[in-house]
Amino acid sequence: MKTTDSRRSFLGQASAVLAVPWIVSPSSLGLGRFVPPSDRIVMAAIGCGGKGRHNTKMFLEDSRVQVVAVCDVDRNHLEQAVAEVNQHYGNADCLATGDFRDLTDRPDVDAVHVSTPDHWHAVASVAAMRRCKDVYCEKPLANSFGESKAIRDAARQTGRILQCGSHERSTNNCRLAAELVRNGRIGQLQSVLIQMPCTDPHHLEAMLRKTPDNLPPVPGHLDWDRWQGHTGPVPYHSERCHFWWRFVLDYGGGEMTDRGAHIIDIAQLAMDADQTGPVLFEARGEQVPGSPYDAFWNYSFVNTYANGVRMTGSATGPRGVRFEGTEGWLFVAIHGGALTASSPELLPEYARDGRAAGSDEPLPDDFRVRLGRSPGHHRNFIDCVISRDAPMATAEMGHRTATICHMNNIAMRTGRTLRWDPVRESLINDPAAGQWLVPDMRPPWSV
């Protein structure tokens, strides 16, 4: 296995921009152009693709943060990230590497964001927490139940702050929707409808693609072996890699874990189920023959909770979650959080007609459950790194939502109804389905 023997070989192949010092210079800590506050959080980025660059940008905009290093196995992504960080600070000091351990091993790094493809979330996040780093990890928390549980357990054991990138939890209207449901505004909750359409242009394109007969060589700027990590190895195929990996079950869970990790997450929040989950999973879906993608499309699922509430999902739109109670219904759109209801009177006046609720809008006096508001998902993470309070999307919350997504995928893989114990976190009387709970991990990677 060449990964262990050539830990830093990627650096040797990179351009001069990667040849940077290990020791952080004074200017990279803000002693030149910037004066650092006493609580400056030194941060590093693991994953510099589209979402990774967005997350880095969000943290760069927080004056309490100093980004000092970036990691990616694609040299093109890496060079772009280095240029953006250096431009922001007006220096040339950002460390660049193809091995995330070069960042997690650094004693000066306080926190990392993990914005890799899903199959790398657990390996990187667990390693970071074990090295005393706080972690902002993209959603879904991981690409399997076992990996997700490992992240949750590592957060418990180390006491590190972990914010799952389920940023809809920081949307004011989503939090308001959960408060309306939990305070009985629609009466007794009876059912939840998850709407996850597969009609976006990239969905339609993915469903039409066929695996080509002739595969191209691995581009020189990409370390394909390291990109695969604990999966594979398989031949390189560009349509399995950047962005499109989300429809390959070894790397992502399809739309079930992509938008599903947002929509189902808000359902969990509104049902006060962040410490638990369904006890019964029924799911059906379609895979496209001859496609490079084995993710499921045109799915439908029914997840039943111990209290009898059924969460029903389908590939229909509009995208969001509908809560149905004995006295009306409430729908919250994903993304954006626009609220609609069976009667306008169910909503506070400031949230009617699709308007976004402000962070300081008053709640009805009789609301017993008040969930608070977020200053923004990234800022909330930094707030909690400093205060050590729990963030809006803890490891436990991210793990419970990810578990639902993965169990639906397993139900579709097996074609069977699955019984689940959310307390022991185990399947009931179906050992064959258990093979999908924890992946076989290719050495040297493990959690």
Range 285-303 average pLDDT = 97
**pLDDT, tens digit, 9 for 90 and up, residues 314-337:** 999 899 999 999 999 999 999 889
Confidence of residue 27 (pLDDT cuts 50, 70, 90): very low
Radius of gyration from C-alpha coordinates of the chain? 22
Co-location of 283 and 211 in the same domain: yes
Co-location of 192 and 252 in the same domain: yes
Cβ–Cβ under 8 Å, residues 261 and 397: no
- pLDDT exceeds 80 at position 373: yes
For strands 320-325 and 189-195, give the pairing. Answer: antiparallel
Residue of 304, 254, 296 lying closest to 140 (CA atoms): 254
Confidence of residue 232 (pLDDT cuts 50, 70, 90): confident
Confidence of residue 356 (pLDDT cuts 50, 70, 90): low
pLDDT value of residue 113: 98
Co-location of 145 and 266 in the same domain: no
Residue 424: inside a domain, yes or no? yes
Bridge partners (DSSP) listed for residue 281:
303, 418
Packing angle between helix 260-270 and helix 395-414, nearest 10 degrees? 120
Written as one string, the DSSP assignment of 276-318 is: ---SEEEEEEE--TT-S----EEEEEEEE-TTS-EEEEES-SS
Co-location of 126 and 188 in the same domain: no
Residue 333: inside a domain, yes or no? yes
- pLDDT exceeds 90 at position 378: yes
Exposure string for 212-248, b = 16+ CB within 10 A, e = fewer: eeeeeebeeebbbbbbbbbbbeeebbebbbeebbbbb
Range 99-128 average pLDDT = 97
d(CA 430, CA 92): 56
Give the three-state DSSP class for 78. Answer: helix
d(CA 267, CA 255): 16
- pLDDT exceeds 60 at position 102: yes
With a CB cutoff of 8 Å and minimum separation 6, the contacts of 305 are 271, 273, 276, 277, 278, 279, 311
Residue 386: inside a domain, yes or no? no
Residue of 408, 199, 418 lying closest to 284 (CA atoms): 408
pLDDT value of residue 365: 81
For strands 310-314 and 426-427, give the pairing. Answer: unpaired
Give the residue from 148, 167, 186 where a domain finishes: 167
CATH assignment of the domain containing 263: 3.30.360.10
Confidence of residue 137 (pLDDT cuts 50, 70, 90): very high
d(CA 211, CA 62): 43
pLDDT value of residue 354: 67
Give the residue from 119, 143, 167 where a domain finishes: 167
pLDDT value of residue 315: 97
Co-location of 107 and 163 in the same domain: yes
Residue 443: inside a domain, yes or no? no
- pLDDT exceeds 90 at position 32: no
H or E segment at 333?
strand 328-333
Confidence of residue 364 (pLDDT cuts 50, 70, 90): confident
Cα-based distances in Å from 181 to 100, 185, 198, 268, 342: 42, 6, 27, 11, 13
Co-location of 141 and 26 in the same domain: yes
409 phi, psi to nearest 5 deg: -65, -40
Cβ–Cβ under 8 Å, residues 262 and 334: yes
pLDDT value of residue 33: 41
Cβ–Cβ under 8 Å, residues 55 and 113: yes
Co-location of 333 and 263 in the same domain: yes
Co-location of 11 and 139 in the same domain: yes
Instruction: Write out the residue range of the structural domain in which residue 358 sits.
Output: 169-374+396-436
Residue 384: inside a domain, yes or no? no
The neighbour count for residue 63, using CB atoms within 10 Å, is: 12
Structure tokens at 49: 């693709």
Co-location of 90 and 208 in the same domain: no
CATH assignment of the domain containing 157: 3.40.50.720
4, with CB counted inside 10 A (0-12, 13-18, 19+), is: exposed
Structure tokens at 161: 């702050």
**pLDDT, tens digit, 9 for 90 and up, residues 403-425:** 999 999 999 999 999 999 999 99
Residue 390: inside a domain, yes or no? no
**pLDDT, tens digit, 9 for 90 and up, residues 46-89:** 999 999 999 999 999 999 999 999 999 999 999 999 999 999 99
Residue 446: inside a domain, yes or no? no
Confidence of residue 39 (pLDDT cuts 50, 70, 90): low
Co-location of 104 and 248 in the same domain: no
pLDDT value of residue 28: 41
pLDDT value of residue 359: 65
Give the residue from 167, 187, 210 where a domain finishes: 167
How does the average pLDDT of the chain come out, rounded?
91
Co-location of 51 and 175 in the same domain: no
Number of domain units in the chain: 2
Range 185-214 average pLDDT = 95
d(CA 49, CA 61): 18
- pLDDT exceeds 60 at position 29: no
Structure tokens at 243: 């962005």
d(CA 239, CA 212): 10
The neighbour count for residue 174, using CB atoms within 10 Å, is: 30
Residue 266: inside a domain, yes or no? yes
Co-location of 176 and 258 in the same domain: yes
Share of the chain above pLDDT 90, in %: 84
First CA to last CA distance, the chain = 18
